[in-house]
Structure 1
């Protein structure tokens, strides 16, 4: 009897249904994926609407010598697209650590932090050069953002099980990194709209045609 039971147990354990039941459920749901995609697309499209028809003078206007132009703001956004893509790429090839969710802050913390009105200091590596001309800054950003959207659409990684390697008491999972990514654009959209409201902001010339 024992000789018969053992092969049956081995066969049962190897069956697809049992193997599937032993696989941990993903923490990053399809609702999470769609939420991320919706916000990545929304902020991309909002940035396009705010900048696609700017004149060269509008792209390069500075409220004051120490303030960024719209072109520099968009270059800064593109640089952060590279930084976050690298962070996600490195994190998802590392071993998942879902247990870190026990000490991670809630998503709301990251939404509130990135959207707060207080100024944030940009590190040197993400400060714009100002050397990219006008609309080319938008092209730079869009290429990178569309790559991110394509990755999020197709990845099988569990974005709530992969964390950054900062070694803090409350590390961020990759879903929360994406909150920073799209929220960062929301934050700078406010800045772009403020630039446009400056009394010296150049007005678009009206075509005679």
Structure 2
């Protein structure tokens, strides 16, 4: 009887996926919710803006709404590259202690507009992607790709890692940071739109 029980137990463990952790349902749902929410917020914010409104700049050194969207399209691709680089190394649970920030702390840091950070030159909007609609389409396509990836992946994202200036984050936090980065710049767009000199139409 014992000889039968052990193989059945092993089969059950494999069958329920305990040997391949992947993402928890909670983590998956949270990441999809964040990505979808900020995607919708962006699209809602720019909907119906005229060409004059999209290109209005409160000051010479400020970004317009169009430039913010271009920066997001560039960054979405960069975050994709960061995630792919993290996945090239084997999952390593022994490095979990190097991740010091919770998901909420990470979101708090990136969405806090009171702390301004100058972006690197390669992330600056320079009109190379195309028209505003082409830029928005590029962002939209990449964001949908990321949402689909999170919905379907079996990658153990919590045990892959990336580096940001303030420390190590895990693979899922790369995705969360990407979403928070979108929210940060949508807030920037809303500041531009709220400016007293923003064109009426």
| TM-score over 0.5 for the pair | yes
Partner SS state of residue 74, structure 1:
helix
Unaligned runs of 5+ in 2: none
Could you list the runs of 4 or more consecutive aligned residues of structure 1 that deviate by over 6 angstroms after TM superposition? none
The TM-score normalised by the length of structure 1 is 0.83
Larger Rg: 1
Looking at structure 1, the residues matched to 115 and 13 of structure 2 have their Cα atoms a distance apart, in angstroms, of 52
The TM-score normalised by the length of structure 2 is 0.86
From 42, 60, 63, the equivalent of 2:55 is 60
From 97, 100, 103, the equivalent of 1:102 is 97
Looking at structure 1, the residues matched to 191 and 17 of structure 2 have their Cα atoms a distance apart, in angstroms, of 53
Looking at structure 2, the residues matched to 190 and 178 of structure 1 have their Cα atoms a distance apart, in angstroms, of 19
Matched ranges for 1:31-110 at <5 A: 31-105=26-100, 106-110=102-106
Unaligned runs of 5+ in 1: 205-209
Partner SS state of residue 28, structure 1:
coil
Counterpart residue number, 2:107 = 111
Looking at structure 2, the residues matched to 64 and 201 of structure 1 have their Cα atoms a distance apart, in angstroms, of 11
> Aligned Cα RMSD in Å?
2.6
Task: Pick 1 or 2: higher relative contact order, CA cutoff 8 A, min separation 6.
Answer: 2
Over 3 Å counting, the alpha-carbon distance change for 1:171 and 1:201 in structure 2 is: same
Contact 2:22 2:155 in 1 (8 A): no
Give the count of matched residue pairs: 196
Over 3 Å counting, the alpha-carbon distance change for 1:60 and 1:155 in structure 2 is: same
Counterpart residue number, 2:139 = 141
From 28, 31, 34, the equivalent of 2:23 is 28
